Amino acid sequence: MRHTQLFTKTRKDAPKDEVSKNAQLLIRAGYVRKELAGVYAYLPLGLRVLSNIQKIIREEMNAIGGQELSMTTLQNPALWQKTDRWSDEAIDVWFKTTLKDGGELGLAPTHEEPITSLMQEYISSYKDMPKYVYQFQTKFRNELRAKSGIMRTREFIMKDLYSFSRDEAQFREFYEKCAEAYARIFKRAGIGDKTFRTFASGGSFSKFSDEFQTICDAGEDTIYIDRKKGIAVNKEVYIDEVLAELGIVKSELEEAKAIEVGNIFPLGTRFSEALGLTYKDESGKEIPAVMGSYGIGPARLMGTIVELLSDAKGIVWPKEVAPFAVHLVSITGGNDEIVAEADRIYDMLTEHGIEVLYDDRDARAGEKFADSDLIGIPTRLVISEKTMAQGGIEVVARANGTPTFVADSGLIELLQN
């Protein structure tokens, strides 16, 4: 992508009504546009990041046996009434709409009911399980507070996976596999060292659920971390009984603010019993399927990365989620030879399959470097009169600003490695 073809532009200031760092930086850098409170459009750079995060999640879900589908956003109230979750008292974030010919529909805040209903057609015997299905689907939640940028919005994409198992033992086996997959996702997204599996309340479904919490001052949750064990406890279950059960010593715990970037949740037979999802065991007895749900919000993860890894100059994207691998910056000063050399390097990079954003604008060096820092692509390549005189290219790591001079002949190998 040439910068002159990119319709978005950077801006010096964020909207005055944006208080979160992630939204301020993403808007200034041209990744997102705020439509209204809690609703954001993803512009070309932002969509590339979001897609890269989804790619990581998709690969890890497929690796543990997940099968991807896409369900509907519009919801039949009759289905939700069977589980007593249609009323606003049961789910207080419903968006609902009225059909022109009468009747009411909902905009899904989650998908336990429809996925359970769907699986009735495909699960009837113990031989049909386990099954693991997931989707990337737009959810709608009528949040009262939507002031955390893209981390808490009223319209968002959610990766929600649902597991269907014969019994508790089979369910728990997959549950742990999914926990391990989540750890890999957060590591690949660049925040693994700050993210902890966190014991939290299981609500009406189980004693515990598991959250994945990333240490960050912008977090809304308080957790207590045992770094030796690599786990944490949410403040909501921070009681002596729980600590004793987990073998955690209170004096060794570290209190921190954190952002919940994912969760895995035992559902038991709550939905399978209410909606009639049963299977016949070896003796022919009808038994309700044991279920679990597993969620990650790609945009919430994107916002968390920005909150955690940005610096005073702008965003610092990890390699696997960055919109481009390389930001090629030409400092021409009106010199046609430098323009031609930068064009040559751009063509060489694209021919080798290296994704590159090429700042080919007629702009001052300071403006280009400031925009490059704000946009946050991991590696910057600089072509200038100075580098041409030395017969190479300046390579700058965004994370630490360290420059390295590389000859043309070694550039591709350096970037590929």
pLDDT of res. 260: 96
Per-residue pLDDT tens digits for 44-81: 999 999 999 999 999 999 999 999 999 999 999 999 99
pLDDT, tens only, 129-161: 999 999 999 999 998 877 789 999 999 999 999
φ, ψ dihedrals at 182, nearest 5°: -60, -40
- Give phi and psi for 336, each to the nearest 5: -65, -30
Q: Determine the Cα–Cα distance for residues 109 and 210; give it in Å rounded to an integer.
A: 20
pLDDT confidence of residue 186: 98
Cβ atoms within 10 A of the Cβ of 49, count?
A: 26
pLDDT > 70: percent of the chain:
100
Please, are residues 248 and 237 in contact by the beta-carbon 8 Å criterion? no
Which residue segments constitute the domains of the chain, with CATH numbers given?
A: 3-309 (3.30.930.10), 326-416 (3.40.50.800)
Q: What's the pLDDT band for 343 if we cut at 50, 70, 90?
A: very high
User: How far are the Cα atoms of 18, 70, 290, 339 from residue 133, in angstroms, in the given order?
Assistant: 36, 10, 14, 50
